[in-house]
Amino acid sequence: MPNPLRLGIAGLGTVGVGVIRILENHAALIAARSGQPIEITAVSARSKAKDRGVDLAGYAWEDDPVALAKRGDIDVFVELMGGEDGPAKASVEAAIVAGKHVVTANKAMLAIHGQAMAEAAESSDVALKFEAAVAGGIPVIKSLTEGLAGNKITRVMGVMNGTCNYILTRMENEGVPYEQVFADAKALGYLEADPNLDVGGIDAGHKLALLSSIAFGTKVNFAGVELEGIQRISITDIEQASDMGFRIKLLGVAQLTGRGLEQRMQPCLVPKNSPFGQLENATNMVLLEGDAVGQIVLRGAGAGEGPTASAVMSDVIDIARGFRLSTFGQPAIGLKNIQAAQVSAAAAFYLRLMLKDAPGVLHKITGALADAGVSIDRMRQYSHADTAAPVLMVTHKTTRAELDHALAGIISTGVTLQDPVAIRIEDV
């Protein structure tokens, strides 16, 4: 048997423990598949004493992940600490300089520093891999980088934040308002330390930016992602969407157009009977569209110990098998700098307006829409007990620019009691 591939794991949360468990349970199977045994040499985490349910006695301990990354007795540095900067960044950089391969689940770090890190890894001739950073256990990075490598990729779409999908599903199924489901999710530990990473769409935006880079051969441009969270989605919106045959999902879309790279991560109405409309709870789904293959849809658990550890192991086994591939599927130095483009494709929009209950109000609203060239497909006003009249409408297809013009006009009439909610209707 050849020498083992030796891992150093930094970060022993859920995913780190999952990787240890897989290697404990399936050592022989993985050795047969990899062509060499895979072993853990050393680990690092914040607390050595904490009981994690796995026995760490066989592994060397490092308090400092940077020291772990540099150890002479590891071949692969597995970064599972998370965080855009700090120890994660410092230790990954140290590992690359020390000539170690790197496997990470850290989308925030790569969305910001991915280009520089990929260039560094490629000039050090080491792998920098991140299957676990996007859509958990779904092999989406591999599918895009390798499985569809013969395609010009035309579009990438995805529901990639399980927490948001969990919140939206519970709101819909139980009729519980956002604030309450959010509190439950927090209590259950489903939310990041900064919940805005989840509900603000940032985490999913990080993932979309990484997929875009591979898909279109462009430098990672997270700043160019149009981001909108799910915080303003109400039960009313969900019920209205449902009445019309739609569900609301935090959906990411990326495509390269003549005007630049469009990337958006925002709540959308999707048809109930579409693949995205059928997603429940924390499940993730990614759609990859290529000129030869058409549309491929991948679905699975986007988070959790087993699924994420499975993705980490996929990268580790690739390294053991001797697969060497640039981080984003082609040399980082050659990735293009494409400007971010506003989303140009027209769409129908769902609008929720909260209006003063007074004569002429609807007349003003419809006037503002007409002035902006936005026409109304359907409209509904509910009977209401107080002085605020909720008005729901669906526009005909319009560009976001025209819609924004219309919304500005609506606000300037002075008859709205809160900012209008506008949600794109996505035909997928």
β-pair partners for 301: 283
Per CB under 8 A, 381 contacts a second copy: no
Q: Which stretch binds a second copy (CB under 8 A): 238-246, 256-264, 328-336, 393-401?
A: 328-336
Give the binding-site size for a second copy (rule: CB under 8 A): 59
Q: Does 139 bind a second copy (CB under 8 A)?
A: yes
- 147 DSSP 8-state letter: I
Backbone angles phi, psi at 29, to 5 degrees: -60, -45
Q: Is 329 in the site for a second copy (CB under 8 A)?
A: yes
Residue 29 binds to a second copy (criterion: CB under 8 A): yes
Q: Does 424 bind a second copy (CB under 8 A)?
A: no
Structure tokens at 323: 């697969």
Q: Does 321 bind a second copy (CB under 8 A)?
A: yes
User: Does residue 39 interact with a second copy by CB under 8 A?
Assistant: no
Give the integer Cα–Cα distance in Å for 266 and 250.
5
Residue 125 dihedral angles phi and psi, to the nearest 5°? 60, 40
> Binding a second copy by CB under 8 A: which of 14, 124, 231, 314?
314
CA distance to 101, 132, 139, per residue, from 120 (Å) = 11, 20, 25
Min separation Cβ 317 and a second copy, Å: 4
C-alpha pair distances (Å), 26 with each of 12, 89, 193, 219: 19, 30, 33, 37
The minimum distance between CB 249 and a second copy, in angstroms, equals 16
Q: Is 217 in the site for a second copy (CB under 8 A)?
A: yes
Q: Identify any residues that bridge with 284 across adjacent strands, giving them in sequence order.
A: 300
Report the residue number, 62 or 426, with the smaller CB distance to a second copy. 426
Comparison of 250 and 316: residue with beta carbon closer to a second copy: 316
Q: Is the dihedral of CA 269, 272, 276, 280 positive or negative?
A: positive
Where on the phi/psi map is residue 170: left (φ > 0), alpha (ψ -120 to 50), or beta?
Answer: alpha
Please state the closest distance from residue 380 (CB atom) to a second copy, in A.
Answer: 28
Within 141-200, which residues bind a second copy (CB under 8 A)? 142-143, 146-152
Which of 207, 219, 249, 364 does the annotation list as catalytic?
207
**Per CB under 8 A, 339 contacts a second copy:** no
- Complex with a second copy: residue 295 or 375, whichever CB lies closer: 295
- 323 is a contact residue toward a second copy (CB under 8 A): yes
CA dihedral 265, 271, 275, 277 (to 10 degrees): 70
With CB under 8 A as the contact rule, the residue among 2, 24, 33, 46 that binds a second copy is 33
Tell me the window of 131-139, 230-238, 347-355, 388-396 that interacts with a second copy (CB under 8 A): 131-139
Exposure on the CB side of residue 206, measured as CA atoms within 13 A: 25
> Shortest distance, CB of residue 76 to a second copy, whole angstroms?
14
* Nearest Cα to Cα of residue 420 among 408, 226, 264, 397: 408
Q: Can you spell out the DSSP letters for 384-412? A: -SSSEEEEEEEEPSB-HHHHHHHHHHHHH
Distance CA 78, CA 211 (A): 21
d(CA 73, CA 63): 16
**By the rule CB under 8 A, 235 interacts with a second copy:** no
Among 41-49, 237-245, 248-256, 294-302, which window interacts with a second copy (CB under 8 A)?
Answer: 294-302
CB closer to a second copy, 311 vs 422: 311
Q: Which is nearer to a second copy, 219 or 264 (CB)?
A: 219
**For this structure, is 364 an active site residue?**
no
Which of 7, 17, 20, 30 forms a contact with a second copy (CB under 8 A)? 30
CA distances from 150 to 48, 223, 332 (A): 47, 29, 19
The letter for the amino acid at 97 is V
Single out the residue of 271, 275, 367, 390 in contact with a second copy (rule: CB under 8 A): 275
Q: Contact residues for a second copy (CB under 8 A)?
A: 18, 22, 25-26, 29-30, 32-34, 131, 137-139, 142-143, 146-152, 217, 273, 275, 278, 290-301, 304, 306-307, 309-314, 316-318, 321-325, 329-331, 334
Q: Which residues are catalytic?
A: 207
